[in-house]
Amino acid sequence: MKKALLILLSAWVLTPSDAEAQNIFLGERVPELRPAGWIDNRHPTPAAITYVEFFHSSNPACLTSLKRLRALAGNSSAPEMRVIVVTREDTARIAPILRPYLSERVTATIHAERGFAAFGVTYVPFGVLIDSRHRALWMGNSLQFNKQILEQSIH
């Protein structure tokens, strides 16, 4: 009886809990983001490369990541890239936190709970580099993303 219970418990723990989550594979299309809106009504500018950054204010590493991504997106010697910050936090709470990091190349979605589920995001900071055809070029912990990875990913 104990053995059967242990097997059932193991199967339950190892079963994916989010039926909507998709696995993201490099080179394949990623799910579409469908934001309810944009902080300060600042829509993303067109760019050949998009970095989708999943963010939550409770994690200090997310702010560190945003500083680095803003510098990278604004770097004229790096390939042209826009950054879309995806958060599921309340707009009134998150807008003042994100506003200093927003720019022409960095925008933030609001109420994007489905974005987390569609990409299968389980930790932050997490990001996905996407090309103009909506294919994943790179993904992982955003603190590891840098100019060299960006350049290698697009060539």
Could you tell me the pTM of the whole model? 0.82
Q: Is the pLDDT of residue 111 over 90?
A: no
User: β-strand 126-130 against 106-110: which pairing, if any?
Assistant: unpaired
pLDDT score for 1: 53
What does the pLDDT look like over 8-27, one tens digit per residue?
334 433 334 333 334 688 88
pLDDT score for 9: 38
Domains by residue range for the chain, with CATH: 20-154 (3.40.30.10)
pLDDT score for 13: 37
Judged by DSSP in three states, 39 sits in helix
What does the pLDDT look like over 52-107, one tens digit per residue?
999 999 999 999 999 999 999 988 777 789 999 999 898 899 999 999 999 999 99
Q: How many CB atoms lie within 10 A of CB 109?
A: 21
CA 125 to CA 116: how far, in whole Å?
Answer: 12
Please give, one letter per residue, the 3-state secondary structure of 45-66.
CCCCEEEEEEECCCCHHHHHHH
